[in-house]
Structure 1
C-alpha cells in the first residue's frame, strides 16, 4: 500500500458492529473507499449515518469488526502507531482547556506529542500566526469566539504536520464569517499537500471544498463521485412559467412525452410547471419548441443544475 502513488486512505469492506445478538447494531457496513493523497474528500450523511464511526476507526480510536483499512500506507490494525504518527484529528467536540490561553494549549499538546519545549514553542508560534490567532494567543480560550476556538482546534491537530487530517463537522454552529475562514483554512491545507477527510452536514460546504464525496446512509456508502457528477445524476431542474394556467395540462402532457419526470398534477391549472430532466437527454431549445409547437404560450423557461442538497435528498429519500 505504500509508495508515492498510494492513496492516502483506503478501506475494504470496513465494518463496525456494536453489541451482540439481538442487540447488535451495525454502525458501518462493508465500506469501500479510496481517498487520493493531497485532496479534500467529503463524507455526507445525517446523524447516525456512520460518519463519526468511520473517523473513529481510521484514527485508531476504535477497531473494526471486520474488513481492512490503510492510512498513509499503514495497515490500520497491524500498525496503529504508524497510523497515529501520520494523522491529525479535529473532533466534533473541542479538546481545548478553556482555562489556558491559546498558546498554552498548543504548548501542552506539543509536549504531549513529544516535541521539545523549544520546538513546541516555535511550532505554536508559527500556527498562531498562520491562523490569525497571534493577537489572542495569550488570552484564555474561554474568551475566544466559536470561530477562533475552531481554528485553534485545527491548529492543535497540525502540530506534527500530519499527512492526513480528519475534520469531523468542523463548522457546526459557526456563523457565516467563521465558516468562511475555516473553508479557507481547508483549501490552504489541501494546496500544501495535506489530505483532508471532511465530514459535514452542510452540503454547500462539501460542494465548495471536496473534490469527491461519499454519501453514507445507515452505515453504507450509497453513492460516491464528484459533487458535480452527483448533482447531474439527479437530473436538471426544469422550470416553466406559462402565460395562462389554462395550458397547464397540455404543457405537462407535452413535457412528459419528452421524458420529463416529477411533473405536477395536470389538473392544478397553475402557471408554474416544474420537473426533472435527465442530463444530456434534451436541450432547452427543444423543450421550448415542443411547447410552442403544441400551442403552449411560454412566459419563461429554464434548466438549472440541482443543488447538492437536492441530490442528497434524491439519493437518500430523507432530510438533508
Structure 2
C-alpha cells in the first residue's frame, strides 16, 4: 500500500525550545489516522508542516509524493483543510459559499453534490450565520472537500458539539472515507472519536511519537490485564488478571451463577493514552 504521508526525523525548534523532536510517521493512502497528544506536544506544529504552512528545521517529509515545503500548486489542489477555527462567510448562503470556494480549483466537485454529501441540501439557501454550530462545521467540510482532495486534514472537528451532532459528523467522515477513499488525518482530544473513526492512532508528547497502532492494540491494550470486581461477604473485591474468563468461572463455582456486582473491565483507550503520556489517572 502506498503512503500518503511519510515522515523521517522531523525536527522543529522555536527560540531554543524543541517543538518536534525526531518524528517518524507513515500514513497509508485511504487511511483514517488520528494524531493524539496533550497541548504543547508538537501535534499542531507537525500537522502544519505536513500542510505546507510551516517550514521544518530538519528531516524528510513527503506528502502525496512531494515535499510540502517546495510543493507545486497542483499538489495544493490535492489537500483539503477543515481547521479548528475556520472563518465563514456569514452573510452568504450555504450554496453561495460552496460555489465561491469551488472557483479556486481546476476540477471541483459540483457544488450541489457536495452540499448533499454533507447533508445540507435543505439549508442550501440559508445564510451561514443562521446555521447551528454543527451545520457550520458541515459547511467547513464542504469547503474542505469541494476540490476533490486526496488528503483531508481535520483539526478538532467536533469541539463544542452535542453528542447527537458529534455522531452525525462521525457518520459524514466515514462516508467520505468509504466513498472516495480519501486519506484523513484527524487531530482530536476526544478519545472516543479516535476510537470510533481511526484505522490507526498515533500518540505524540514532548515532540516525539510514543506509539502508533490500531485503537484496539495501542500500547499493548489487547493483551493488557483485565480488572475483575465483585461483591463477596459484604466486601467489594478486585482482581487483575490476564485470564478474566477463568477468574469469572472460578467465582461462579464459589458464589453461584449470579455473582454479586460482577464487572469485568479492560483498559480503555483513554487509560492507555494517559499511561503513555505519563499523566496521573
Do both proteins adopt the same fold according to a TM-score greater than 0.5, normalized to the shorter chain? yes
Q: Is the 8 A contact 1:102 1:152 kept in 2?
A: yes
* 1:28 is aligned to 2:16: no
RMSD: 2.4
Q: Counterpart in 2 of 1:272?
A: 236
CA distance in 1, matches of 2:85, 2:103: 21
User: Alpha-carbon deviation of 1:68?
Assistant: 1.3
User: Alpha-carbon deviation of 1:291?
Assistant: 11
Q: Is the 8 A contact 1:214 1:224 kept in 2?
A: yes
CA distance in 1, matches of 2:188, 2:232: 42
Q: Counterpart in 2 of 1:195?
A: 183
User: Alpha-carbon deviation of 1:164?
Assistant: 0.5
* 1:216 is aligned to 2:204: yes
Q: SS where residue 167 of structure 1 aligns?
A: strand
User: Alpha-carbon deviation of 1:287?
Assistant: 6.9
Q: Counterpart in 2 of 1:123?
A: 110
TM-score normalised by L of structure 1: 0.78
Unmatched runs of 5 consecutive residues or more in structure 1: 246-270
* 1:313 is aligned to 2:274: yes
User: Using a 3 Å threshold, how does the CA distance of structure 1 residues 161 and 109 change in structure 2: closer, same or farther?
Assistant: same
Answer with 1 or 2: which has the greater Rg: 1
Q: Counterpart in 2 of 1:266?
A: none
User: Using a 3 Å threshold, how does the CA distance of structure 1 residues 97 and 274 change in structure 2: closer, same or farther?
Assistant: farther
Q: Is the 8 A contact 1:17 1:26 kept in 2?
A: yes
Q: Counterpart in 2 of 1:241?
A: 230
Unmatched runs of 5 consecutive residues or more in structure 2: none
User: Alpha-carbon deviation of 1:71?
Assistant: 1.0
| Partner residue of 1:105 out of 97, 101, 117 | 97
* 1:148 is aligned to 2:135: yes
CA distance in 1, matches of 2:192, 2:202: 14
CA distance in 1, matches of 2:171, 2:251: 46
Q: Counterpart in 1 of 2:168?
A: 181
User: Alpha-carbon deviation of 1:198?
Assistant: 0.6
* 1:10 is aligned to 2:2: no
Cα deviation, 1:35-57, whole Å, max 9, x if unaligned, reads 11111111111222222222211
TM-score normalised by L of structure 2: 0.89
